[in-house]
Amino acid sequence: MIGVLAPVFGLALLDSLNPSAVAITLYLLLAGGSFVPRVLSYAAGIFAANLALGTALMLGLGSVSGLFDGPVAYGAQAVVGVALLGYAVLAPDSPKKEKKERRPRSLGVGAVFLLGMTITVVEFSTALPYLGAVAILTNAGLTTAQWLPVLAAYNLVFVAPPLLLLGAYRLFGARLRPALERWRERLQGAGRETLLWILGIAGFLLLADSLRYFEFFGLL
């Protein structure tokens, strides 16, 4: 079980470095007013949508789990890992474009919850660390009672940065505001670089998990 949890929670920590989630959290904190319910609602929206999508994917993959448990499946996982790692290292530079920050038109709790859910669904096809974690859990052949708590814990790790930012801003308030405003500005222009780091580390973790299955050179 430890051999499954280590790469899964490694991917969870990696996935939590989501510049979109952090940038919107910073906006919600700095917009003034009752920021606590807004950030909690936003994090809840992300958690609910991501857990629901992951559960649906696990149940769908579980129905054909035999196809994902064996040398061919782990070989394919190794190929995906190498491809992600290679792209992260070799991807050409792209011209910088001014990005518009996603901001909710309404700061109501319900609107922010829906914002969290909507962004999660829209970005799900690029959630490669999460998809990798689902693949690892599926390959492990766990029962629903085993993988569901792991998936829930993954998503708690995923929403930890917004909650930690909320706690820090709650404690230190105005003293943090200038630093948070500068951080938000940097995040708006650093999304691609962060994505490449995420792809590279996700590729490494997927490759390492597949090599562990094959007992590569007896080292993993």
pLDDT, tens digit (0-9, with 9 covering 90-100), for 117-143: 888 887 776 788 898 899 889 888 888
pLDDT of the residue at 191:
53
Long-range contacts of 179-184 (CB under 8 A, 24+ apart): 180/26, 180/29, 180/30, 181/26, 181/30, 183/26, 184/23, 184/26, 184/27, 184/30, 184/101
Going from the C-alpha of 75 to that of each of 65, 82, 85, 127, 205, the distances in angstroms are 16, 11, 15, 21, 14
- Contact assessment for residue 45 and residue 117, using Cβ atoms and an 8 Å cutoff: yes
For 85, other C-beta atoms within 10 Å of its C-beta total 19
Per residue in 15-63, pLDDT (tens digit) is: 888 777 888 888 888 877 788 899 999 999 999 999 999 998 888 865 5
Q: Is the pTM above the cut of 0.85?
A: no
Alpha carbons 157 and 140: distance in angstroms, whole number: 21
